[in-house]
Copies of this chain bind each other. A is one copy, B any other.
Amino acid sequence: MKETGLIKKDEIDTPALLIDLDAFEYNIKLMADFMKDKSAKLRPHYKSYKCPTISHKQINAGAKGITCAKLEEAETLIFAGIRDVLIANEIPNPAKLYRLAGLAHAHPETKITVAADNAENITALSQAASRFGVTLYVLVEVDVGMGRCGVNTPDEVYALSKRIKDSKGLVFEGIQAYEGHLSYDLDIPTSLTEEVKREGVKKMCEKVGAIKDYLEKKGITVNEISGGGTGTYNITGNNTIWTEIQAGSYALMDSVYDRAGLRFKCAMTILTTVMHKRPGMAVTDAGLKVCTIEQGFPAIKGYPHLEIYQELSEEHGPIEDPKDELEYLQKIEYIPSHGCTTVNLHDQFYCVRNNTVEAIWPITARGRSR
């Protein structure tokens, strides 16, 4: 007999983004247990799931605070009661820095940290902080191989950290250094072996370690060194100088991280309906508008031998089905190849356990890219 009010998984309208709560809780605990005796603390990255409910669960399990990439993400975290937020990225536009400082002013209970890699930006940050009479904590970003933002030499980092120290409203907190290039390699997935990763992290530690020594010799204390992703959490999280690990994807995972042999479970799937079936082919109602493919096509849960045929359309998923295993109106699940961007297409998670819906969590920061 059906319990009153219970929504079964197969009653959820499709396409829908699901969280398998058992797998999710397993992942949260596995990471919390790993980090328990490490000198680094966990500060999970919000960009991978954009849902403050998940952030609270990470903090309840021991995370020190949350990392995010954008001011608008930070706003959703702070509005949801998170009290220690790192924007691990530069905020270039001066107008937006006033919005940041205004946020700090309205939330004196919250510690807000932001990255910088440029003297002009630090001046603008200080002006904004001074205008609102607030304190903003600043990490200088060091490029450890992404080739994106950040500076490189000890002298550059020293000049910026000194400038931060001397700027009204700012506190120099340490170094932002994220090794995303060591997380996975899409082109040659097997090339990023544990050994290659360890070697990469070692080089990164030498570079950042030398910078830290240089600054401290010059009298500038480096409180935090923040970085580390899901692909390297166990290496970067286990070295002696990193103080924060920003892994985010571990909570929900995706098929690319799964292929990298991590111990976390794929907790996020896209529920979809077979809307057309003919011999050799099934077509689902889930396409590019609910599932990104820049890291490859999604996997089909429970059918590892089935694949998307040629291309995902905007609203259709054609699946080659040579043995006609799938049926018209059957509900199946995609495991997305890139969780971070797929989450950004959806407004809510349907949280499922034992085939019933236990909760619906809002993806509050969906589309918050400013």
| B-binding residues in A (CB < 8 A) | 11, 13-16, 47, 69-70, 89-90, 92-93, 95-96, 117-118, 120, 146-150, 180, 273-276, 281, 283, 285-290, 292-294, 309-310, 312-316, 318, 328-329, 340-341, 344-347, 366-367, 369-370
Contacts and interface: CB of A to CB of B under 8 A. Distances in A.
A252 B256 CA distance: 34
Nearest to A331: B93
Given A148-B313, A314-B47, A344-B345, A370 B13 contact: yes
Given A14-B93, A92-B285, A147 B318 contact: yes
A367 B341 contact: no
A289 B329 contact: no
A120 B370 contact: no
A16 B369 CA distance: 9
Contacts of A147: 281, 309-310, 318
B149 A283 contact: yes
B148 A370 contact: no
Contacts of A283: 148-149
A231 to B, nearest CB: 15
With a 10 A CB-CB cut-off, give which of A315, A318, A347 has the most chain B CB atoms: A315
Contacts of A89: 315
Given A288-B292, A294-B293, A92 B148 contact: no
Contact of A120 (B14, B328, B344): B328
A174 B59 CA distance: 57
Contacts of A92: 273-276, 285, 328-329
Given A148-B276, A148-B316, A292 B292 contact: yes
17 contacts: A13-B93, A13-B96, A13-B370, A14-B93, A16-B370, A47-B314, A70-B315, A117-B276, A120-B328, A147-B309, A147-B310, A149-B276, A180-B313, A287-B369, A292-B294, A294-B312, A315-B369
Given A93-B329, A148-B283, A289-B341, 10 more contacts: A13-B95, A15-B370, A92-B275, A118-B276, A148-B313, A148-B318, A150-B276, A315-B369, A344-B345, A347-B367
Contact of A290 (B15, B16, B312, B369): B369
A329 B285 CA distance: 42
A275 B345 contact: no
A2 to B, nearest CB: 16
Contacts of A180: 313
Given A70-B315, A318-B147, A328-B118, A15 B285 contact: no
Nearest to A90: B275
Nearest to A285: B92
Contacts of A312: 294
Contacts of A117: 276
A134 to B, nearest CB: 20
